[in-house]
Each structure stands twice: as structure tokens, then as C-alpha cells.
Structure 1
Amino acid sequence: MRVIFTTWAWPSHLYAMVPLAWALRAAGHEVLVATQPELLETVRHTGLPAAAVGRDVDALAAFHAIAFPPSAPPGKGARGGPRVVGLFAAIAEAMAPELVALGRGWRADLIVSEPTCLAGPVAAAALGVPHVRHLFGTDLLGNAGPFLHQALGPLCDRLGLPGVDLAGAATVDPWPSGLQAPAPSRRIPLRYVPFNGPGRLPRPLPGGEGSGLPRVCVTWGTTPARVDKRLFLAGRVARALAGRARVVLAVTAEQRSLLGELPPDAYVVESAPLHLLLPRCAAVVCHGGAGTVLTALAQGLPLLLIPCLPDHVRHSAAVAGAGAGVALPAGTGDPEVIAAALPDVLACGAAADGLRAELAARPSPAAVARELETLVQLADR
């Protein structure tokens, strides 16, 4: 079986699919990751074969406009639905023709795409092969079919397609079922296996167990700082928690200069896979990105969430609604509000551990790979 995984140039969307892609490789199937040129080097760091398709699109400008609309303060309830749909349609326009050509020349049997990469279902329709959606968090576009079909109309016309089945043959879903919206196609639950990108094994975290303070990991993913440095609140959070927690800051090398002055006992770890830091922590404070949230829940850790973008708001509300964390209003930077929320977060440990147990009981990537084999075999009959 020959499988193309496709995503546009956003690393966290790629990382969500890496464990399943490797499971298919380990089962003896051919796997190729097709993406925009900007992400090609990141794909190579996963060890998977890569191919560039189409051209890059300035997604950062669109996300900046969503986070900082003229009529609202930064991060305060920005609603970017029309802008986001337009962005995803523009990315599909940039990628789809070359993705179709690649799939035809490579003789693909299946296309797997994250839900915001609309070039995936378009190419699958043009090639006449099954398409599978691979979610990375809440199903952000599951109910957006009418808007997406309208936005993709000109592209489908150019490719001679009467329409596109955006729901796909199935939806691979790593998100906890109780926190998820109904899928538009058959749902295939997937055990979440963290892939946080390449990085170094962190040094052992410093002691201090006798202090009586909980160890809390503060991380702001990779998205907020890329969109605008004002959205990167990790340093502010660390200062707010001084004296209430032993803070471990998980950042990239590029983010360290954004932290500002830190409390003397704050500990900074650069470019370490997040899941290796968390076993000795009691909670996670973050922006609500899907990868960070799932990595914390896979360890059974409650979360304090301060969202930046609309998808972060959705993830944060879902976690808080399940009792596995506390969500503050988007963009909250008040140190007293952040510090006061910590006891409530720590009290969410039992609910977070329940979600950990649910995720651990799900089918492994290897099991899901076998299910995709069956899906393709049935489609060939």
C-alpha cells in the first residue's frame, strides 16, 4: 500500500500524524509526506520521506489578523471563521494541482490529511482513491462543510471535479471522545503517542521536593510566538507563579529571549521533547494547543489554559468542561488571576487521570494502520 500523508506548512499539524505514518512504514507500506516547501526540512527531521508540493502561503499574516482584529484587544475573543476558511482554501489552491500530479505519478492508494489541509480530499477525489482525515485536536471543521465546499468551488471547477467528499472514508481521532464533536465520517479512535519534534533528552530536573511546592511545567508551544511575540506569555506566567510552584519552562532556543527576567528558582529547558519533562510535574500551564494538551493528558496532568487563537479556545473549553483543568479568558495576563487559579487546577488531577486512562486504552497506531489496510482493500473491490 502506498500512502501519502499531507499537511500544509504548520509543524504541529505534521507532528500529530507522525506516529501513524511510522506505524504504516513499520508494517511494510510505502509512506510519503507531501507538504509546502517551507515545511520540507521539518518533515525530514521526522525520518519520513518528503516531497514538496505547490508554493508557500503567508499563514502567519492571516493568524495575526485573527489574533489582533482592529475592533478587539489582543487575543480577546477574536473570531476568525471567514478568514480561516479563506486561508485554508488559498492553501488548497497552492497545493492541490501538484499534489494530484504527485499522487498520480507515485500511484498512491490512500491519502491521509489533517483536517485543515483541504488539498488532501481534493487530490483524493481527483485520483479516485480513499481519503482519511487525521485530527490533531477538536474537530474544528467537522461542521463547516457548506462553507468549505463554497470556498473550494473554483479549485474543483479547474480540476474538473463535480464535488469533494470532505468527510472522507474515516476520521482518525486521538482526542478524548467525551471532549469531541460528532465526526462527519466513521471515527477511528487512536491512542495518542506524543511526537514533539526532534530534541535533546533533558537533564534531570532539580530537586526541591522538600519545599512543599508543586512542580509545574509552563510551555507556550510554537504557534503563539510565531504569530506575534505579544501572545507568548510563558515568562509572565512563571513570574505569576513565583512562590506558589517550582516552575519548569519548556521553550525553544528562539523563545528564551522572550521570557524576560525570571524568578531565581525557575528552571528553563530548551528544545526538549515535552513528554519527557512531564512525569515529575503536577500540572501544565499552556496556551491550549492540541499537542500540548494531549501530551499533558496522556500523562494524567491537569492544565491551566490561557488561549490565544480560536482553536486554543475550543481545546481549553473542552478540557475545562471535562473537569481536567481551568480555562482563563483568552489573553489573560493578570498575575493575581493566574496565581489564584493554581489550587483549582491541582484539584483537577482525578479527572485528568481519568482521561489518561481513556487515551491509554485506545487502539495503538499499529492497530489503526491495520484498519487503514482493510479500508483500502474494501475500496479496491
Structure 2
Amino acid sequence: MARVLMAWELGANLGHLTRLRPVATALQRRGHTLSFALRDVMGSRAVLPPGLGRVFQAPLAIHTTPTPAWTMADVLVACGHGHAAGLAGLAAAWQSLIEVSGCEVLIADHAPTALLAARVMGVPAVHIGHGFSVPPRLSPLPVFRDWAPPPAHHAADVDAQVLSCVNTVLRDAGAAPLDRLCDLFYPERTLLCTWPELDHYGGLGRSAADYVGPDGEYAPGAEPDWPGGNGPHVLAYLRRSHPGHVEVLRALADCRLPTLCYLPGEGAEPVSAPTLRYSRQPIDFRRALPRCSLLVCHAGQATVAQALRLGIPVLMLPEHAEQHLIARQVERSGAGVNAALQAPPVAYASLIEIMVRADGSHAKAARAVAKRHSAFDPAALTARIVEAAESVLT
């Protein structure tokens, strides 16, 4: 059996790790030895079961200046790929992790420097991720932040800058250079874990065969404890960091819809109402979602996908560009509303009353998405990723 290193380098929150978890569990069952290199080693303790494998802190660039990101090349600059000398140091740290772990195959989720280090060392890799972290195989890498277009020639210029740095690291190590920067994201096997309705790039440069479906296996959670009340039920997954979370909760209370809200973090309950109940623990979606007529969330892919699989529309409050792009795609499908595109002040109560209607356009569109993907099986996706990892072993 093989030694597998699972890497997560970039991206906020724990969505990337929840995608890796079922794959790791399946690999361990098949006798493989696992190690993890993770961006958030503290948060990982709430996601990974004990005994799954050794956990290392992922090497991260710490001396970078935040700049606007229009393309994935900009994201790479922000994580240390803008200067060859700095990138060489970062890649060397990843190489050390690969060596210490005894890695025979790398599984990377939003871990571009890990993919580079694997190329340097000749270690086969499987790249998995949603539409943002697996950009289209186009040169230059396309603009995703199209609501604020970049300066002329920016996409080509930053693409060339990062490609030069990456190829310097590869050549200095005696490895073959890349023809195009997008090739970094396409090692021995790459699986685009999303649907067209959730693709950050809106299908640009993709074919229907590229989509293998989103991570959507249900995670363990607390028993849903619904409040009393009549009418459609609403499940809300909100963060205190979003400036609109109190407005949304107030609107839900005003609508008098039975609402169960997961609101992590310290602090008092921001809105009190007989029809509103809070949970400090993640909720068991498998039990909670079937009773819902609406999901309110920040547009994380797994959360949205689980709702759409059941034909439940989604009101989305994105917190950053990745979530905004998913929310925009879902809104284009008709199955949800991106609150970030609503004129302020957002009329949340009116939106909610419209969206919970079973005969409304949002519910109909969500059911259409569910029908298009009725054959999708998250467990089969996990098995496909495991097969990909085992297929690249020599």
C-alpha cells in the first residue's frame, strides 16, 4: 500500500478539508498510510477524525502584499509565486514535507505550490477542487473578477511573470518547464469537482465531460431542533463576520417562518423570536434539509450543492470573490438569489417570502437543477478520486 500526502494550501474556512476527509477515510480503509499538510491545523481538529494520519502545517508565504486579484495568476502572486527566489524557498519547504512524509502520491486541493514541488521531485499528483481552484486550461488564465475589469494586458502580463518564476524553479531542479501556466493545475490526474451551475468560470474553456460533480457527502452534525411555528421552514448557516447577518435574521423573524440557524462564534444571539432558534454546533444536514423550503448561507459550494440536490432554493450572502462567483452562477440558473447583487438596502423579508413559495420560480429552478443531477452520487465521486490516486502509483 502507498503513502499519500493530502495538501491544502490556499482558501478560507474548512471547505477544502471537508472535501478531502471522505477521500482520506476511503484511502485509509484500503490500507494506505496518510499524512496531511494543511493551511489550518487548528481548525482541522474539528473536521478530521483522530487516527487518520499525521498533520503538518502547510508552508505558506508570509511576506506578501495583498493586491487585487483578477486571475488565478494574481492569486499565485499573492501566495508567493511572484518572485523566483521566494518561490524556490516555498517549494523547497513543500519538498521537505513530501520527503518527510514518504509521499508516493500527492492529493492536492487548492495547493499550487505543493503541485509545483511534486513536479520538481517527480512525485505523481492528483489535483481535486471546485471551479475556482481548478481554473480552465487556457492561456493566459482567464479573468474571473469581471465586475471590475483589470488594466489592459494585465492577464497576459501576470501570467507571463508567474510562469517565468515557476519555470525558473523547475529548471534549477532539472525538471521540465511548463509550456503554459495553466498546466501547473493539470498534473497526472485532475478532477473538476463541481457542476456547471456552480462553476466560478461559468463554463469557460470546459466541456460537459470535465465536470465530475461537487463534494456533497453529509458531515456529522447536531440533531436539528426546530422551533415551533407554521409555514415553510428555513435553515440558515451564517457568520457574524458578514455585515448583513443581523438584517437577514431580523427579516426571518419578521416573516415568522420556523428557522434554525447555525451561528458559530462567541456573542449573544443577535435577534430573538419564537420562530428563531440557534445552534452553536454544525447541524446534521441529512436530517434538516429535507424539511426546508429555503437555505440561507454564504455560498460555500458543498452547502449550496446539498440544497440544490434536494431542489431547495438558496439565498446567498457571499463574503469573498470565490463565494460571489458561485452565488452569481446559482442566481443565473434561477435557483437562488445573490444578495450581493441586490440594491441596498436589501429587502430581505420580501425576498424570503418569494423564495419559500413551492410554486415560485426559485423553487422550480432548484428542482430543475436537482433533476439534471439526479444520478449524481457523492460516494461515487469519492471512489473516483481514490481510483485516480491509485492509478498514478508506479
- Shift of the alpha carbon at 1:7? 0.7
Opposite residue 26 of structure 1, the aligned amino acid is R
Residue 192 of structure 1 deviates from its aligned partner by 3.0
1:168 aligns to 2:168 (yes or no): no
Corresponding position: 1:14 with 2:17: yes
The alpha-carbon distance between structure 1 residues 57 and 12, as it changes in their structure 2 partners (threshold 3 A), is farther
- 1:309-348, aligned counterparts within 5 Å? 309-330=320-341, 334-335=345-346, 337-346=347-356, 347=360, 348=362
TM-superposed CA distance for 1:6, in Å, is 0.6
Aligned counterpart, 1:262: 272
* 2:146 alignment counterpart: none
3-state DSSP of counterpart to 1:40: coil
What TM-score, normalized to structure 2? 0.74
Q: CA deviation at 1:301?
A: 1.5
The 5 Å alignment of 1:48-87 reads 48-53=52-57, 55-57=59-61, 62=66, 84-87=75-78
1:129-177 per-residue CA deviation (whole Å, 9 max, x = no partner) reads 3322211355563356464563264355245244353222333233224
Change (3 A) 1:169 1:80: closer
Question: Could you say what secondary structure the match of 1:189 adopts?
Answer: coil
1:34 aligns with 2:37: yes
Whether 1:124 and 2:118 are equivalent positions in the alignment is yes
SS of match in other structure, 1:121? helix
Which residue is equivalent to 1:293?
304
Contact 1:324–1:352 (CA under 8 A) maintained in structure 2:
yes
Counterpart AA for 2:225: P
Q: Decide whether the 8 Å contact of 2:189 with 2:388 is kept in 1.
A: no
User: What whole-Å deviation, never above 9, does each CA across 1:174-212 have from its counterpart, x for those lacking one?
Assistant: 32245432459984614633465xx7523531332xx2x
The residue number in structure 2 matching 1:280 is 291
1:251 equivalent in alignment to 2:263: yes
Matched to 2:237, the amino acid is T
175-184 or 281-290, which deviates more: 175-184
Which residue matches 1:193? 216
Which residue of structure 1 aligns with residue 91 of structure 2?
96
Supply the distance in 2 between the matched residues of 1:133 and 1:90 (Cα, whole angstroms): 18
Distance 1:6 1:149 in 2: 26
Counterpart-to-counterpart distance in 1, 2:342 and 2:70 = 14
* Identical aligned residues as a percent: 20
Aligned to 1:109: 104
Match of 1:100, SS? helix
CA contact (8 A) 1:110 1:131 kept: yes
The alignment's C-alpha RMSD in Å is 3.6
Q: Residues of 1 paired with 2:389 and 2:216: CA distance?
A: 20
Q: Distance in 1 between matches of 2:325 and 2:73?
A: 17
Residues 92-141 of structure 1: CA deviation (Å, up to 9, x unaligned) = 94753222122234332322212x32112202201213322211355563
Question: For residue 320 of structure 1, what is the amino acid of its counterpart?
Answer: E
> 1:39-88 CA distances to partner (integer Å, 9 max, x unpaired)?
223334402323324545569994xx76xxxxxxxxxxx96877534223
Of 319-328 and 366-375, the range deviating more from structure 2 = 366-375
Are 2:4 and 2:35, in contact at CA under 8 Å, matched by a contact in 1?
yes
CA distance in structure 2 between the partners assigned to 1:163 and 1:284 by the alignment? 46
Partner of 1:25: 28
d(CA) in 2 for partners of 1:102 and 1:339?
A: 51
Would you say 1:375 and 2:376 are equivalent positions?
no
2:258–2:275 CA contact under 8 A, matched in 1: yes
3-state SS, counterpart of residue 339 of structure 1? helix
Task: Evaluate the alpha carbon distance shift between residue 51 and residue 235 of structure 1 in structure 2; reply closer, same or farther with a 3 A threshold.
Answer: same
User: Displacement of 1:319 after TM fit?
Assistant: 0.8
> Aligned residue for 1:135?
129
Normalized per residue, the structure richer in helix is 1
Structure 1: segments with no counterpart, 5+ residues: 67-77
How many residues are paired up? 347
Residue of structure 1 equivalent to 2:150: none
Tell me, in whole angstroms, the C-alpha distance in 2 between the residues paired with 1:184 and 1:121.
Answer: 24
Deviation of 1:362 (Å): 2.9
**Matched-pair contact (CA < 8 Å) for 1:16–1:136:** no
Q: TM-score, normalised by structure 1?
A: 0.76
Query: SS in structure 2 opposite 1:4?
Result: strand
Inter-CA distance 350–44: structure 2 relative to 1 (3 Å threshold):
same
- C-alpha change, 1:195 and 1:30, in structure 2 (3 Å) is farther
Which residue identity is paired with 1:367?
A
Q: Secondary structure at the match of 2:55?
A: strand
Contact 1:5 1:32 in 2 (8 A): yes
SS at match of 2:42: helix
Q: Structure 1: how far apart are the matches of 2:260 and 2:65?
A: 31
